[in-house]
Amino acid sequence: MASFRDAFGRVIRRERTDVAKAIRDHLGRRDESSLEQWLVRFYGEDHRQFFESQTDAIYQATQLLTRSQIFQELGYQLNDDALQRFRNDYRQNVLDEYMGDSLGQIRGIMKKSREDGVDMVDALTQRLEEWVEKRADKLAVAEAHRTVNALTVAAFRESGIVSALRWVTAGDSCPFCQEMNGRIVSVTREFLGAGEELSAGGRQLKTYWNVRHPPLHAGCDCSLAPA
């Protein structure tokens, strides 16, 4: 987990520096439209490539270790071709999730700043600093849990033994996880689609990526079981 934390720390610090500069440059001219265009390019190309360069080797090593652990527990091991397909899909999902989450948070803060009449630069800067302080630790914990669940799904799918999956909560779960508890989908389908909203306890959780397995959110400790 320390390696993930270090890599995510580099990604986030670079993100904070580049986005903060763009915010000052574009909003200093009161040009939200040009900032939006810059953000789309940054998260769609430049930062996406940097994220991959900083994390790819760590993901590969972690997934090899997890494959061995799953074999000991399930008695089925992904072959090298299947593992490579998994890596490609998993990398795409992680990139989509991270970039979508960052962009979604920034857009949300810009919208709320307009509605509330507060200084947009200050609000965005505060969120960037919060990312530097807290986000790497949260992501490292989440990825340690996510990789196991994702490889489990891949192993079930490739084995041909399991055709459907059930979402399972653990311990004292939040309302969103409780809402997911017991949901069943085909082993080839996602539990929630990108852009879909989950309602629970009078609140909404919007996903910016396809949710095929836990964790659903930071701190989620749900798991999957054959259905």
**pTM of the full predicted structure?**
0.77
pLDDT digits (tens, 9 = 90+) for 54-82: 999 988 888 888 888 778 877 777 888 88
Residue 184 pairs in a beta bridge with 166
Q: Tokens for 203, please give them.
A: 């609140």
Residue 86's identity, in one-letter code, is F
Backbone angles phi, psi at 179, to 5 degrees: -65, -35
pLDDT tens, residue by residue, 124-150: 999 999 999 999 998 988 888 888 888
Does residue 181 or residue 225 have the better pLDDT?
181
Cis, bond preceding 215 (omega within 30 deg of 0): yes
The conformational region for residue 75 under phi > 0 = left, psi -120 to 50 = alpha, else beta, is: left
Q: How many CB atoms lie within 10 A of CB 149?
A: 19
